[in-house]
Amino acid sequence: MSTVAANAPGAAGGGLSDVAASEASLRRFLHGLPGVDAVGLEARAASLGTRSIKTTAKAFAIDLAISMIDLTTLEGADTVGKVRALCAKGKHPDPSDPSAPRVAAICVYPDMVATAKEALAGTGIQVASVATAFPAGRAALPVKLADTADAVAAGADEIDMVIDRGAFLSGRYLDVFNEITAVKQACVRPDGSSAHLKVIFETGELQTYDNVRRASWLAMLAGADFIKTSTGKVTVNATPPVTLLMLEAVRDFKAATGVQVGVKPAGGIKTTKDAMKYLVMVNETLGDDWLTPHWFRFGASSLLNDLLMQRQKLSTGRYSGPDYVTVD
Amino acid sequence: MSDVIRLDVMKTYKLFVGGKFPRSESGRVYEVSDSKGQWLANAPLGTRKDTRDAVLAARAAVKGWAGTTAYNRGQVLYRVAEMLQGRREQFAAEVAAAEGLGAKKAAALVDQAIDRWVWYAGWTDKVAQIAGAANPVAGPYFNLSLPEPTGVVGIVAPQTGYGHSFLGLVSVIAPAIATGNTVVVAAAADAPLPALSLGEVLATSDVPGGVVNIISGRTADLAPTLASHQDVNALDLTGAIAAEGPGAAAVLEAAAADTLKRVLRPAVDPSAQDWTSAPGTDRLLSFLETKTVWHPMGQ
C-alpha cells in the first residue's frame, strides 16, 4: 500500500526546501507525485471500515473520539449564548457522567473567539477559529490576513484556513503556497509563539484524488500543522477514501522530511460507527503516534451526541435516545 | 419437452426496517415450520442491534407521520387494505400453514383482517371526537383537550389465540399507527411469515418508511431491548406470554417502568383470546397523550 513518493524529486534526500523556489519547480514536484489508484484506495478504505470493535475496545475508541472532537458551530445564526452553551457542553459532554472526557477544541467564527476563550478559560480546551474568508475563501489576501490576525489577537489557539480552490484548480500552485505561508506568518503572536494552522482543502471541490494528494503535499510543504478535508459547507465532505489518502500523504511526508503533520476530517461524520472507521484508518495507516487529539481531530457537531448515546449504552446496558443528550 | 421439471423460486424472508428489507445484522436465520412441524421457510433471526436500528427508523418517521392530517392517514391506511386485497391468497396460505387451519377458515381470517384494516382507517379522523373534548371552564376561554400520538410504540405481536398470526397482528398494528404513532413490531416467533409478508405490502402502499418496522426472532431477545430502550415511548405486551425469563410480561413491564413507558398488558389468558371478536376502541385509545389548550374566546 505504500505510496511513498519515491520517484518524486527530493523524496530520497529530504531536500524539499527548494521545491517551492518557482512556479515551475513546484508544479514539477506536485505533478511528479505518483497518481492515485482510485479503485484500490476506495477498496482499502472500505475494507478498513469493516472491522468489528466491541466492548472494552469500543469504550476506549468512544472516549478517544470524544477527546478528538473539534466541537463546531459555524452558522450565520450563531449567538454569544449559543457559543457559551457549546463551550459548556465541550467541558462536560455528559453532565450525568463526569467520567466522560472533554472535547479537544471548540471551533467558531473569528468574532466568537473572545466569547469562547472566556468560556473555556482554565480548561485546556483549545479555541479554533476559521479564517481567511471561510468557507469560500474568496477575498483578497490582505483581507484574509487581517481576518487571521484578528482571530489570533482575540486569542485563538488554532486557525482553520481555507485554500483558494480557484487558484489551485487553475494550476497557480505557487499562489496557494504563498498564501499559506503568509497566513502562517499571520498566526504568529506578539510573544513569538504561534497559533496552530490547519489548512482546509475542501476536497469535495478538488475533483480528483490526484488533486487531493497534490494539495496535501502543497500545504505540508508550506508549513501546515494540520491538513483538513472540508469546510462542512458543501455537499461532499469528509469521506473515508479522501481521508485515507491524506493520512498516507502525511505518512509519506514524515518519511521524507521527518516533520509530523496532523489530519482533521470534517463534515458528514455523524455516527460512532463512522468515527471508529476513521480511528481504524489512522491506526492502520499512521499508528499510535497519531492516535491522540494532538495529531488527529474530528470536525463535527452532531457526532458528539451519538458518541454520548453509545457511551451511555455501554455503561447502562440499554439503548439511549436523543432525549438524554442536549439539543444543539 | 413435456417432462421439463421446474424448480420453484423460494422467497427469502427479510426484516422490514425503515421501508427497506435488510437481512438480520447477525446474518443468522431460524427455521419456521407449520403447525405439523414441516419446514416452511427460513426467517431472519433479528438481534438487539436490528431492534435498535428499527427504533431509530421509527423515531425518524414520527414527525412526518404524526404530522400528516388524520384524513390523509386514513387514506394511506385504506390503501394498505387495497394492497392486502390483491394478495389475499398468499396471506391465506401463510395463515393456514402457521395456524394449522383449512383453506376456507384461513381465507375468512384474512378477509376479516383486511376489513379490520379498513375499519381502523376510518377511525383516523374520528378518534379525536371520542378521545378529545371541549371542556367547560369558568371564564371566557375555549378549553380543548386533544389526543396526540404517544410516539414510538414497541409491539410484541400476538403469539396465541385464534387468528393471531395475521388478524391478531393487524389488530395490534393498525390501531397504533392510525392515531399517528410509529411502531416496531417483534413478530410472533413461531409464525413470523405473515408479518414479514405484511412488510412487503406496507412497502408498496404509501406508508412512509419507518412507520411500521417488523423484526422476526426470539421474543426473549427482542422484547427486552424494546422494553429498556430509552427512545421507545410505549410498549404493547400482547404477545409476551412467557411465564418467566427475560421475555415475561412482568419483567418487561419492570424494565419499561425505568423510562416511564406507557404499557399495555397482555390478556389474562392470552391463549383463549379470539381475534375475530369485535375489537372495540380500547387499542385505539391506548397510545394517545392528551394535550389541553386554553384559548381566549373572542367577542
Sheet containing B133-134: give its strands across: B133-134, B141-149, B288-296
Residue in the block written with cell 383463549: B272
Are the C-beta atoms of residues B55 and B214 closer than 8 Å to each other? Answer: no
Q: How many contacts, defined by CB atoms under 8 Å, are there between A and B?
A: 26
Instruction: Give the start-to-end residue ranges of the domains of chain B.
Output: 39-296
Residue A17: its pLDDT value, please?
A: 78
Instruction: Encode pLDDT of A232-264 as tens digits.
Output: 999 999 999 999 999 999 999 999 999 999 999
Q: Is the pLDDT of residue A12 over 70?
A: no
A236-258 residues labelled b (16+ CB within 10 A) or e (exposed): ebbbbbbbbbbbbbbbbbbebbe
Q: CA–CA separation, B297 vs B211, rounded Å?
A: 38
* pLDDT-based confidence at residue A266 (cuts at 50, 70, 90): very high
8 Å CB contact of A323 and B230: yes
8 Å CB contact of A318 and B231: no
* pLDDT-based confidence at residue A15 (cuts at 50, 70, 90): low
Summary mean pLDDT of chain A: 93
Q: Which residues contact A183 (CB under 8 A, 6 or more apart)?
A: A131, A132, A144, A145, A148, A159, A161, A197
Q: CA–CA separation, A66 vs A104, rounded Å?
A: 8
Whether chain B has a CB inside 8 Å of the CB on A142: the answer is no
Whether chain B has a CB inside 8 Å of the CB on A191: the answer is no
Instruction: Give the start-to-end residue ranges of the domains of chain A.
Output: 38-317
Q: Is the pLDDT of residue A10 over 70?
A: no
Q: CA–CA separation, A328 vs A94, rounded Å?
A: 13
Residue A170: its pLDDT value, please?
A: 96
Are the C-beta atoms of residues A244 and A290 closer than 8 Å to each other? Answer: no
Q: Which three cell numbers stand for residue B216?
A: 422476526
Active site amino acids of A: 160, 228, 264
Residue A6: its pLDDT value, please?
A: 44
Q: How many residues does chain A have?
A: 328
* pLDDT-based confidence at residue B166 (cuts at 50, 70, 90): very high
8 Å CB contact of A319 and B59: no
Whether chain A has a CB inside 8 Å of the CB on B225: the answer is yes
Residue A197: its pLDDT value, please?
A: 97
Report the 3 state secondary structure along A27-40: HHHHHHCCCCCHHH
Own/partner contacts of A209-213, CB < 8 Å, gap of 24 or more, are A209/A36, A209/A38, A209/A41, A209/A241, A209/A242, A209/A245, A210/A33, A210/A35, A210/A36, A211/A168, A211/A169, A212/A36, A212/A242, A212/A245, A212/A246, A213/A33, A213/A36, A213/A245, A213/A249
Q: CA–CA separation, B4 vs A228, rounded Å?
A: 64
Residue B299: its pLDDT value, please?
A: 65
Residue of A nearest to B227 (CA): A318
Residue of B nearest to A310 (CA): B52
SS3 assignment, position B260? coil
Q: Is the pLDDT of residue B220 over 60?
A: yes
Residue in the block written with cell 424494546: B226
Are the C-beta atoms of residues B187 and B219 closer than 8 Å to each other? Answer: no
Provide ipTM, 2 decimals.
0.84
Residue of B nearest to A309 (CA): B230
Q: Is the pLDDT of residue A11 over 50?
A: no
Residue B1: its pLDDT value, please?
A: 57
Arithmetic mean of pLDDT, A22-28 = 94
Instruction: Encode pLDDT of A190-229 as tens digits.
Output: 999 999 999 999 999 999 999 999 999 999 999 999 999 9
Fold of A38-317: TIM Barrel (3.20.20)
Contact list, A323 vs chain B (CB under 8 Å)? 230-231
Average the pLDDT over each of A14-28, A311-325, B145-159, B281-295 and give the range with the smallest value: A14-28
Fold of B39-296: Aldehyde Dehydrogenase; Chain A, domain 1 (3.40.605)
Whether chain A has a CB inside 8 Å of the CB on B205: the answer is no
Arithmetic mean of pLDDT, A48-53 = 93
Q: Which three cell numbers stand for residue A300?
A: 463535527
Whether chain B has a CB inside 8 Å of the CB on A319: the answer is yes
> What is the pTM assigned to this prediction?
0.89
Instruction: Encode pLDDT of A93-126 as tens digits.
Output: 999 999 999 999 999 999 999 999 999 999 999 9
Residue A328: its pLDDT value, please?
A: 79
Q: Is the pLDDT of residue B284 over 60?
A: yes
CA angle at residue A286 from A281 to A291, to 5 degrees?
75
Contact list, B223 vs chain A (CB under 8 Å)? none
Amino acid occupying residue B69: T
Q: Is the pLDDT of residue A1 over 80?
A: no
Summary mean pLDDT of chain B: 95
Residue B298: its pLDDT value, please?
A: 78
* pLDDT-based confidence at residue A5 (cuts at 50, 70, 90): very low
